[in-house]
Structure 1
Amino acid sequence: MHKPVNHWMNAIQVGFTIVGTVIGAGFASGQEILQFFVAFGKQGLWGLFLASLLFGVLTHLVVVTAAELRVRSHLELLMRTTSGWMARAVDGMLLCFLVISTALMLTGAGTVLEQHSGFNRMLGTVLAALIVVLVASGPSTSVVRFNVILVPVLIVTLCGLGGKALGQALKYSHVPTWKAAVNPYVTHWWMAALIHPAYNIFLAMSGLSSISGSVSPRSGVLGAWLGSGIIALLLVCVSLALWIAGPDIHRYPVPTLVVAQQTHPWLGWASILSMLAAMLTTAVVNVYGMARRLAEEVPWRHSWLTAAIVALSLPLSYFEFVVIVGTAYSAIGYIALVFFGYWLLKLAIPSQPR
């Protein structure tokens, strides 16, 4: 009688961890959604549909495979699903990219605090770094609980923005889509729709591999589709809110916060908290996954590894927030597309017996 309860609880925990990992600074701020979907106007609606499907497929691929193989790190997952040379190459790139991603989360937290409370940006970045080290130094259960606590705040806030925007869209009898200057590295809507889920799941692979390896495959399946379903819903909510706000919204580094504050002061404060939650949950899972991976090579305590990883990320936080989203993530996305394409092709073509 207890197995179904534990089974569903594990699935919910996995799903919320997926959401907390994927929705970080770029997503929750609206910058990713603006550059990869909203900027393409009506074509961005098709992009949302395609990206939502791909989120489900790639999340299922990573989470369920990790659960079936009972892996402890992303390198073990890579070694058992791809060729040796590719596993090592992707491992090295993923570790480098995760440091960049962690820096983006930390600088995003500092940017939010500076823009909306007058808090010193670098001081806010350091404070976020300390929280990440504290949580990521614990066991996987601490990381999961951190996501389970904070992710609902994020979901409710972004759904609130989307619900308000939907009400306004119904008055127009359509979604008033508009176009803006697109990301120079991603100039077609269909390419943006492929790259966005690819780089998000690629970067999430380290943390999700470490956490999913300890759950049952069935919990992994349910958790993967629950998480990707929530992500798809939030993609639509943020896109609607930005389209309703009008083309001038692209001038702001954190557009969702501007929309929230224009809607209602309380929603503005809720958005600030949810934004910080999104950045912290992503950074925590990133750092935890990297520490689990590096523990296979470096004979340090887990807490020392987490502190070293965060310390390495801090200097990168001096770069401009929008610049990191537009350049680094686009490059990661193209690499991720090649990697996942290879993995899916390998699954589709059965290996020949020797």
Structure 2
Amino acid sequence: MKSSSIAVAMAYVGTVIGAGFASGQEIWQFFSRFGLWGGWGIAAAALGFALVGWLALERGRAGVHDFGTLLASVYPPWAAYIAEGLTTAFLVVGVVVVVSGGGAALAFFSLPSILGKALTLLVIIAVASRGGNAVTIANSFIVPYLIMMTVAVAWLYPHNLLTHGSPDHSWAWALSALLYVSYNLFTALMVLLALGSRLTSFKSTGMAAGLGGAILGLLAFLEHGVLLRLLVIGDLPMLTAAHQIHPGLGFLFAASLWLALMTTGIGGAFALGERFGRSRLWWLVFTIILTPLSFKTLVSLLYPVMGVLAVMLWLPLFVTPTRSE
């Protein structure tokens, strides 16, 4: 079944924008903590998302739908085996982070944490088990709402206060941008390989990846502007900002945050389903026992490590040929 470039771009954005992005926690950890210099990192990351996304979609369009095949085309068997194992492990870790964040987001609605986590996990499994078409449809509805909420908070939050300056981190923001794009590819790369077959031309893959990178860059810049003016950076800083503007907006943003978490979790579960079979996704219910750490702790500890290890996973995109027709 074919999809439009816009639908695939929305799925790409939805896969990346989830767990820490919509909450602001990712943008703080990777960019805003560097002060104004973080903006350069965001620009570099947006270009990286467009480039690597295009390469991944092209591989999928060329028939490379299996991540193991992509790795085997570059690495010796033992290295490809290790890379596949790391990818599987961190896809599961990604679901754990999403479920933890889902519990935190739904706590805003006075739902007990364990129930919020359970609901989050069940929705993820239900959608992912229905395949790629369900993923693109879900993101086509969810992502526009996320964009609207992020724009609203960025526009309405007070603009006359800058609480975080520009510390001297030299080129640390550049390394941070590389790690940010890299770790996001744990999930996005496998989703894009699968969705690439739904596009019909070199132009359509370029449009989907370019639009996806542009949207991700814009949203990250908007959050960056809010985070630089926020007095305290907690677990869910963008939700804090929305609530400070108005409790009603906080309520709406909490809903968008939960939906954003869904998009990343669905993407990760979809990738696992493509590898092991959708009928086996039920075993993800056991990941709920791995979610006692706070959302902020999970993001700050695990995501940079995932970024370092993910470099070996997306490098094959640059050494296998693309189709130009």
Output the CA distance in 1 between the equivalents of 2:249 and 2:51: 33
- Structure 2 residue ranges without an equivalent (≥5): none
Q: TM-score with structure 2 length normalisation?
A: 0.90
SS in 2 for 1:207: helix
Matches within 5 A, 1:139-158: 139-158=131-150
* Structure 1 residue 78, shift from structure 2 partner: 2.9
Aligned with residue 178 of structure 1, among 125, 147, 165: 165
Output the CA distance in 2 between the equivalents of 1:265 and 1:320: 23
Residues 28-74 of structure 1, C-alpha deviations (whole Å, 9 max, x = no match): 1111111111111122122122222212112112122212x223332
- Structure 1 residue ranges without an equivalent (≥5): 1-5, 296-301, 349-354
Output the CA distance in 2 between the equivalents of 1:312 and 1:23: 24
User: Corresponding residue for 2:178?
Assistant: 194
- 2:300 maps to a residue whose letter is G
- 2:124 maps to a residue whose letter is V
* Structure 1 residue 83, shift from structure 2 partner: 4.8
Please identify runs of 4+ aligned residues in structure 1 that moved more than 6 A.
Answer: none
User: Corresponding residue for 1:50?
Assistant: 44
- 2:310 maps to a residue whose letter is A
- 2:185 maps to a residue whose letter is I
- 1:45 maps to a residue whose letter is G
Task: Return closer, same or farther for 1:61/1:262 CA change in 2, 3 Å cut-off.
Answer: same
User: Corresponding residue for 1:352?
Assistant: none
Output the CA distance in 2 between the equivalents of 1:145 and 1:112: 23
Higher CA-based Rg:
1
- 2:88 maps to a residue whose letter is L
Aligned with residue 227 of structure 1, among 209, 212, 215: 212
User: Corresponding residue for 1:278?
Assistant: 260
Matches within 5 A, 1:249-268: 249-250=232-233, 252-268=234-250
Alignment partner of 1:332 is 2:311: no
SS in 2 for 1:178: coil
Cα RMSD, aligned residues only: 2.5
* Structure 1 residue 342, shift from structure 2 partner: 5.9
Output the CA distance in 1 between the equivalents of 2:209 and 2:248: 32
Output the CA distance in 2 between the equivalents of 1:271 and 1:312: 29
* Structure 1 residue 80, shift from structure 2 partner: 4.0
Residues 166-223 of structure 1, C-alpha deviations (whole Å, 9 max, x = no match): xx54x67xx765268x9xxxx9222111111111123322222222233324332211
Alignment partner of 1:314 is 2:288: yes
* Structure 1 residue 159, shift from structure 2 partner: 1.7
**1:74, 1:210 within 8 Å by CA — same for their partners in 2?**
no
**1:207, 1:288 within 8 Å by CA — same for their partners in 2?**
yes
Aligned with residue 189 of structure 2, among 202, 205, 218: 205
Matches within 5 A, 1:1-354: 10-67=4-61, 69-80=62-73, 83-114=76-107, 116-165=108-157, 168-169=158-159, 177-178=164-165, 188-218=172-202, 219-245=204-230, 248-250=231-233, 252-295=234-277, 302=278, 304-308=279-283, 310-341=284-315, 343-344=317-318, 346=319
Q: Comparing 14-23 with 83-92, which one deviates more in the overlay?
A: 83-92
Output the CA distance in 2 between the equivalents of 1:112 and 1:318: 15
- 2:232 maps to a residue whose letter is I
SS in 1 for 2:4: helix
- 1:194 maps to a residue whose letter is L
* Structure 1 residue 82, shift from structure 2 partner: 5.0
Percent identity between the two aligned chains:
28
Output the CA distance in 1 between the equivalents of 2:142 and 2:229: 27
